[in-house]
Amino acid sequence: MRRDILLWPHPVLKQQAAPIARVDDAVRALIDDLFETMYGAEGVGLAANQVGVPQRVLVLDTTSRQPELRPLAMVNPVIVSAEGETVYAEGCLSLPGEVEDVERAAVVTVRYLDEQGHAQTLRCEGLLSIAVQHELDHLDGIVFVDHVSVLKRELIRRRMKRLQASRELRVGT
């Protein structure tokens, strides 16, 4: 089921997401919804709190740029090591139309549970590295605009307020 993506600065996007105790069918159903919602919005990553579920689950698909990889679902992901630095112009499904340069680690190694509940360790490079750091930030209540200057963030806040207002008008609420 495709879910609605919350727009920043919705309070759930600023919340620390809770760890998953057990990867069960409910978690797998959430993962399915996250994939469907991400693909519907043409994103490369989505965190559960972006659809209003403050739990530590995220999905990623960077295969359009990294065909050697496959789509990934991560439960309780943790970055265990990071190397180098890179700057990438990031966007976010919770901030449509906004793009800002963000400095990240170039390569990260992530430990997580897959959709079967098995522990995995994955070294992430390129777009996958950027995307996993971006989505992990979401689980900690951080969005990419928290990495830019206060001035830029305030301009974005104003644009998002206008976008939110126009959406509410459109659905007639």
| CA pair distance 149, 39, nearest whole angstrom | 30
Strands 95-104 and 107-113: unpaired
Comparison of 27 and 137: residue with beta carbon closer to Zn ion: 137
Q: Minimal distance in Å, beta carbon 50 to Zn ion?
A: 6
Comparison of 92 and 156: residue with beta carbon closer to Zn ion: 92
Q: Minimal distance in Å, beta carbon 152 to Zn ion?
A: 16
**How many CB atoms neighbour CB 49 within 10 A?**
27
Q: Minimal distance in Å, beta carbon 22 to Zn ion?
A: 26
| CA pair distance 79, 137, nearest whole angstrom | 11
Q: Minimal distance in Å, beta carbon 93 to Zn ion?
A: 6
Residue 127 interacting with Zn ion (CB under 5 A):
no
The dihedral sign for the CA sequence 37, 43, 45, 51? negative
Residue 46 interacting with Zn ion (CB under 5 A):
no
Catalytic one among 85, 103, 135, 168? 135
Comparison of 92 and 108: residue with beta carbon closer to Zn ion: 92
Active site residue 135: yes
Residue 58 interacting with Zn ion (CB under 5 A):
no
Q: If you write DSSP's letter for every residue of 6-21 in order, what string do you get?
A: PPTT-GGGGSPPBPPS
Query: For Zn ion, which residue of 34, 38, 57, 92 counts as binding (CB under 5 A)?
Result: 92
The answer to whether residues 71 and 36 touch, using CB atoms and an 8 Å cutoff, is: no
- Longest Cα pair distance anywhere in the chain, in angstroms? 48
Q: Which residues bind Zn ion (CB under 5 A)?
A: 92
